């Protein structure tokens, strides 16, 4: 087993060698809970869920940390002028993110720390940076503390930028900075900010800067050095660059591998508030079944850009239905035979090779669909042994990808009144059709079949009777 991952810092594929044999520590930048989650947030969370599932399948014990940034300039700005407290607004949106993750079958993190619960660790890290000569309090007494970028020669190592190429830091008041690139570690309290949004510190009341939050939480839960740091491509600079700099300057080895997922465009355009083209999670999940949305968001290679357009979910639905139809057909045919429930649930070698190669999900899905095809061919040929083997492989692959239709989390309620009524009507018509066939009234039998097909119902005649499903 050799897993290779693309390391954004090295800008190359590297063999993945965990720091501790048999165990992996992963830190992923979670949401800043300032507003409702959109399709990009879901895609990013799903990418690292796939990574986690694959590493777990490969026998590694994964500790997965995804933070919640619940104190931030934008959170305070969005709560200002309303009757809602900033922390209440943050928690309300945090619940929306959690609901979206759960709908998509994204596994809960091992730890999900909120920034506001690790302020002391942030202050300790800032104090270390000041002591080492890599940070300085603002001389004007404002309470601000900045990272001194000139003091750290490796600044820019993640994104391979020289000092002259970098944009100025925009995350704090520039009133007392030595250099435009110096970024805020601690933000002194301002008169127009709520008192509840500040904590006492050696430099004055205030709150942490965005970048220091993740450095402190990552080291708190995973140690000074851990295996993988992940996040969206838009976080490489300045957020991840600043994390790497401040952690390294404080003496922490920090992340051994950096991974970044691609973004999501909408109809060929970058998704942005100014264009008004944001696709929010709640809207997306109204357009298709959650398992279909998961299939769609997870089908592309994680480093590629997804272009969401009308018809995207239709294509995903059709692909997933091929998997569902095979599993349903196999279970019905194998029932009451010695092959029922058989088939070792392990992934084929070709699937494993694809996933080991930097999570090549498109190639892995190709193996999944080819196995579905061969499984259907085996059923056609009444080769039940081969059909059972294919079923086991399909279940294993779809489970790894989180799209196993038979998993309890994807169960569709069949006890709703509409479904009960539909089932009763269809099964009554199928009974009538069978009576007509037995009486050699094939014209009536064909008419019933055609009416069901016109209504979107697929009929499959099997040795155990007619079976129906939605087309």
Three-state secondary structure call for residue 167 = coil
Place of tokens 């930028």: 161
- State how far the Cα of 415 lies from the Cα of 205, in Å rounded to an integer: 57
Rg, Å, the chain Cα set: 27
Residue 26's nearest CA partner among 225, 217, 226 is 226
273 appears as a binding residue in the annotation? yes
As a residue count, the chain comes to 471
**Burial of residue 287 (number of CB atoms within 10 Å: 0-12, 13-18, 19+):** middle
**Do the annotations mark residue 350 as ligand-binding?**
no
Looking at residue 190, what DSSP letter applies? -
Residue 196's CB is within 10 A of a number of other CB atoms, namely: 10
- The distance in angstroms from the start CA to the end CA of the chain is 41
Q: What is the DSSP letter of 270?
A: E
Q: Is 80 helix (H, G, I), strand (E, B) or coil?
A: coil
CA gap 275, 283 in Å, rounded: 17
Q: Give all strands (DSSP E) within 67-164, no chain letters.
A: 135-137, 145-147
Please spell the DSSP secondary structure of 60-115, one letter per residue. -EEEEEE-BB---HHHHHHHTTSSS-HHHHHHHHHHHHHHHHHHTTPPPPSB--BG
Burial tier of 422 (Cβ tally within 10 Å: 0-12, 13-18, 19+): middle
For 142, the 3-state DSSP assignment is coil
Residues 152/178, Cβ–Cβ less than 8 Å: no
HSE at residue 397, side-chain half, CA atoms within 13 A, is 32
Q: Provide φ and ψ at 462, rounded to 5°.
A: -130, 165
Distance from C-alpha of 31 to C-alpha of 182, rounded to nearest angstrom: 24
Structure tokens at 87: 């922390």
Q: Give the SS3 label for residue 27.
A: strand
Residue 67 · residue 217 · CB < 8 Å: yes
User: Which residue in the block uniquely carries the two structure tokens 């720091």?
Assistant: 19
Q: Which helix (H) or strand (E) holds 181?
A: none
User: What is the SS3 assignment for 20?
Assistant: strand
Known binding residues for Zn(2+) are 29, 214, 239, 243
Known binding residues are 29, 214, 239, 243, 273
Known binding residues for ATP are 273
């Amino acid at each position: 087993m050799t897993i290779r991952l693309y390391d954004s810092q090295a800008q190359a594929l590297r063999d993945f060698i965990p720091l501790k044999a048999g165990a992996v520590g992963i830190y992923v930048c979670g949401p800043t809970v300032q507003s409702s989650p959109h399709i990009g947030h879901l895609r990013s969370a799903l990418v690292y869920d796939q990574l986690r599932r694959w590493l777990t399948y490969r026998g590694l014990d994964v500790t997965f940390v995804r933070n919640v940034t619940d104190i931030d300039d934008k959170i305070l700005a969005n709560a200002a002028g309303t009757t809602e407290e900033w922390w209440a607004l943050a928690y309300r949106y945090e619940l929306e993110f959690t609901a979206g993750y759960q709908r998509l079958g994204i596994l809960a993190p091992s730890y999900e720390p909120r920034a506001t619960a690790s302020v002391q660790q942030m202050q300790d890290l800032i104090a270390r940076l000041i002591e080492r000569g890599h940070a300085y309090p603002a001389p004007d007494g404002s309470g601000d503390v900045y990272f001194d970028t000139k003091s750290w020669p490796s600044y820019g190592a993640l994104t391979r930028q020289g000092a002259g190429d970098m944009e100025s830091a925009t995350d704090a008041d520039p009133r007392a900075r030595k250099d435009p690139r110096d970024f805020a570690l601690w933000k002194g309290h301002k008169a127009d900010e709520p008192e509840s949004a500040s904590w006492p510190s050696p430099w004055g009341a205030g709150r942490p800067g965005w970048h220091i939050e993740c450095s402190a939480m990552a080291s708190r839960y995973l140690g000074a050095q851990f295996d993988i740091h992940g996040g969206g491509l838009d976080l490489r600079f300045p957020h991840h660059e600043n994390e790497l700099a401040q952690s390294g300057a404080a003496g922490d080895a920090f992340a051994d591998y950096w991974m970044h997922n691609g973004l999501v465009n909408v109809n060929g355009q970058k998704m942005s508030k100014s264009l008004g083209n944001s696709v929010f999670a709640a809207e997306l999940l109204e357009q298709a079944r959650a398992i279909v949305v998961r299939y769609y968001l997870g089908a592309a290679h994680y480093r590629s850009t997804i272009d969401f357009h009308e018809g995207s979910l239709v294509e995903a639905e059709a692909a997933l239905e091929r998997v569902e139809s095979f599993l349903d057909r196999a279970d019905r045919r194998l029932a009451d035979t010695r092959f029922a429930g058989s088939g070792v649930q392990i992934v084929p070698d070709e699937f494993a090779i694809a996933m080991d190669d930097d999570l090549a999900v498109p190639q892995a899905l190709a193996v999944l669909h080819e196995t579905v095809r061969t499984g259907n061919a085996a059923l056609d040929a009444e080769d039940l042994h081969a059909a059972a083997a294919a079923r086991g492989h399909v279940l294993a692959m779809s489970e790894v990808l989180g799209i196993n239709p038979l998993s309890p989390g994807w169960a569709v309620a069949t006890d709703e009144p509409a479904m009960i009524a539909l089932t009763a009507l269809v099964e009554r018509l199928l009974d009538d059709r069978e009576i007509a066939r037995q009486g050699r009234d094939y014209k009536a039998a064909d008419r019933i079949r055609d009416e069901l097909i016109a209504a979107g119902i697929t009929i499959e005649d099997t040795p155990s009777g007619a079976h129906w499903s939605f087309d």
